[in-house]
Amino acid sequence: MNLEGKHVIVTGAGAGIGLGIAKACRNAGADVTGFDWKTEGRERLEATGARFEQVDVTDLDGFEAAIAGAHDRAGRLDGMVNNAGVTIKVPFLEITREQMETLWTVNQRSVLVGCQAAGRIMAKAGHGSIVNLSSVHARTTNPGHEGYAGTKAAIAAMTRAMAWSLGPEGVRVNSICPALTRTEIVDKAMEDPDNAARFRSWTADGEVTTVDEIGALAVFLLSDAASALNGSEVTADRGMSALLDVFDLRRN
């Protein structure tokens, strides 16, 4: 799982899972370019040794140009991690057109464009690995997540198709499907003992996945150690979706 000499782009890298992935890639020896539309995460990202660029993935033309620019500056592009995403939980009959568009643009269209832009560069070089962040909501979900779940299922489906589109060019495409992960927001919520106990009750080992653990999975998929994996979905939920009726938000 060595990424020495490789250049990796990570979107949504200023906080949460994206920051965890950027840090893990740096620890594995990669040159990392992190995109985020907020500047608040610049200092944290640069502290890992990664390069920060303010990029809004909803500006699809600008996003594509930023990928090309990062490639040109580094002289290569070996890995692309499409992590940027947004969660909107709202009762199904109340979700607005604006909320739908936000979900589709951030979670689905930007991933499609990111894969296409990076894929063209990687195909020309004859190698590369793309990792898309999907979610357990792609397969098992709850009321109120209809729009979100749909976009995450789209990511998983696109990943499978891209594996065959780009595989002949030497490019692998896989997805990670996390469940609840200890981002800054979740850590804050877990300061309440009741929340912490509830979150831990959802997993087989009583633990809640950390951003560093998701980062390690991303490094594996980006590395040559995962050469046999293409079009795969790695479910990182500590067994949550393996158990029928783990939790039901209608009963909260």
Question: What would the pLDDT profile of 103-135 be if each residue is shown by its tens digit?
Answer: 999 999 999 999 999 999 999 999 999 999 999
Of the chain, the percentage scoring pLDDT greater than 70 comes to: 96
- H/E segment holding residue 171: strand 171-178
Mean pLDDT of 25-42: 97
Model pLDDT, residue 249: 53
Q: For residue 1, name the pLDDT band (cuts at 50, 70, 90).
A: confident
Catalytic residue, chosen from 63, 148, 202, 220, is 148
- The class level of CATH for 7-180+211-238 reads alpha beta
Question: What would the pLDDT profile of 95-105 be if each residue is shown by its tens digit?
Answer: 999 999 999 99
Q: What is the pTM of this model?
A: 0.94
Active-site residue 148, yes or no?
A: yes
Does 250 score more than 90 pLDDT? no
Q: For residue 244, name the pLDDT band (cuts at 50, 70, 90).
A: low
Q: Letter for the amino acid at 148?
A: Y
Distance from C-alpha of 55 to C-alpha of 171, rounded to nearest angstrom: 24
Bridge partners for 182 per DSSP = 210
Q: What is the mean pLDDT of the chain?
A: 95
Least confident window among 121-125, 185-189, 226-230, 242-246: 242-246
Distance from C-alpha of 107 to C-alpha of 226, rounded to nearest angstrom: 25
Question: What would the pLDDT profile of 38-54 be if each residue is shown by its tens digit?
Answer: 999 999 999 999 999 99
Where do the domains of the chain lie?
7-180+211-238
Which ranges of the chain does DSSP label H, i.e. alpha helix?
16-27, 42-47, 60-74, 97-103, 110-125, 146-166, 184-189, 193-200, 211-222
Beta strands at 171-178 and 128-133: parallel, antiparallel or unpaired: parallel
Q: For residue 241, name the pLDDT band (cuts at 50, 70, 90).
A: confident
Does 248 score more than 70 pLDDT? no
